[in-house]
Amino acid sequence: MVSAQKDPGIRKRPSVLVVDDDEVISGGIASWLRDHYEVVTEPSAAGACGRLAVGERFSVILADVLLPGMDGLELYECMRGACPEQTRRVIFITGAPALRLPFHRERRVLLKPFDRDALLQHVQAILSGD
């Protein structure tokens, strides 16, 4: 039997990975969610991809689309290869509403600025399987 302390993929509460290079945004999101979820922040898509590649799993992944270096769409492609089951858990966040996302009708997108209630609704929808 695998212990929860030894396996980073097993968590006691639903977990949320926040991938955003803006510390103010990732910190704000984390503060809104920490009462109910285990929150991990990651400033880069490459770092998030690395976490997922070694087996970390999250209940919800909030990923900024526009990131330096590897962007949120490339992170999604990384997930499709390394952990396709995690792609159903992604909520993209972006401050560029005119950005044409190739999957905007099939994936969740949260436009910045958003409020706590909108964020919680999106997170709950993922957790409930909607």
Is 76's pLDDT higher than 60?
yes
Amino acid in position 70: M
Tell me if the domain spanning 15-127 has CATH number 2.40.50.100.
no
Query: Model confidence at 5, in pLDDT bands (50, 70, 90)?
Result: very low
Q: pTM for the full model?
A: 0.85
**DSSP one-letter code for 121:** H
Contact indicator for 14, 35 with CB cutoff of 8 Å: no
Residue 16: which residues within 8 A CB-CB, separation 6 or more? 33, 37, 38, 39, 40, 58, 59, 60, 61, 62, 123
Domain boundary assignment for the chain: 15-127
Q: For 88-130, what is each residue's pLDDT tens digit?
A: 999 999 887 656 565 555 568 888 889 999 999 999 999 998 6
